[in-house]
Amino acid sequence: MEPTTTTPKTTEATTSTAPQQTAVRGRAEQRAPRRGGRSSARAPRERSEFDSVTLVARRVARVMAGGRRFNFSIAVVIGDRKGRVGVGLGKAADTALAIEKATRDAKKHMVTITRTESNSIPHAVECKYASSTVEIIPSKGRGLVAGSAMRTVLELAGVNDVVTKIHTRSKNKLTIARATVEALTQLRAK
């Protein structure tokens, strides 16, 4: 009788394409590199000549048959801090689109103001727009003394050394900002 030799049965190992996971999760060396990170060859964004500040951002709801529909209303102030400033309002279903519309509106309604050599204003001015009444008074050496939306508008216009007063009960930032721009357009060089 011949001795029988048994050959060990080879089992095929199943290979998977998924990476092996260990007990420690979240380590950078175990993950594949991210795609489209900061190292990608994206062109740098063009810097705008105007600085912009979002003044008011409101979410407005209307009730429809299927429920509520939300829109966004955004007021933006833009300026170059060299005497040009504008206030704009944009409304859209998306905040980014509303900001873009508001910026376009502000550029369309931009005004150039008269300033002195010290970046103040030549004379006192008072203006009423809608329910807001504002007053701007030059005050040498005081800096910018303003609050609410007036401060934002005057900063972006590049105005300094003034004292301001809001003569109204209204807290509506959009009308205060528009009243400030209207007051700045009434300035005349001495």
When pLDDT is averaged across residues 1-13 and rounded to a whole number, the result is: 58
59 inside domain: yes
For residue range 42-79, what is the model confidence (pLDDT) as tens digits?
667 667 788 999 999 999 999 999 999 999 999 999 99
Q: Do 54 and 76 meet the contact criterion of CB atoms below 8 Å apart?
A: yes
What total of structural domains would you count in the chain?
A: 1
125 inside domain: yes
pLDDT at 77: 96
114 inside domain: yes
pLDDT at position 8 over 80: no
CATH number of the domain at 65, please: 3.30.160.20
Q: Look at 20 and 143; give whichever has higher pLDDT.
A: 143
Q: What percent of the chain has pLDDT over 90?
A: 69
For residue range 155-190, what is the model confidence (pLDDT) as tens digits?
999 999 999 999 999 899 999 999 999 999 999 877
When pLDDT is averaged across residues 94-101 and rounded to a whole number, the result is: 95
14 inside domain: no
33 inside domain: no
Domain that residue 104 falls in: 51-185
161 inside domain: yes
81 inside domain: yes
Q: Do 144 and 151 meet the contact criterion of CB atoms below 8 Å apart?
A: yes
Listed residue (74, 99, 163, 98) closest to 126, CA to CA: 163
Q: Do 159 and 125 meet the contact criterion of CB atoms below 8 Å apart?
A: no
For residue range 103-143, what is the model confidence (pLDDT) as tens digits?
999 999 999 999 999 999 999 999 999 999 999 999 999 99
29 inside domain: no
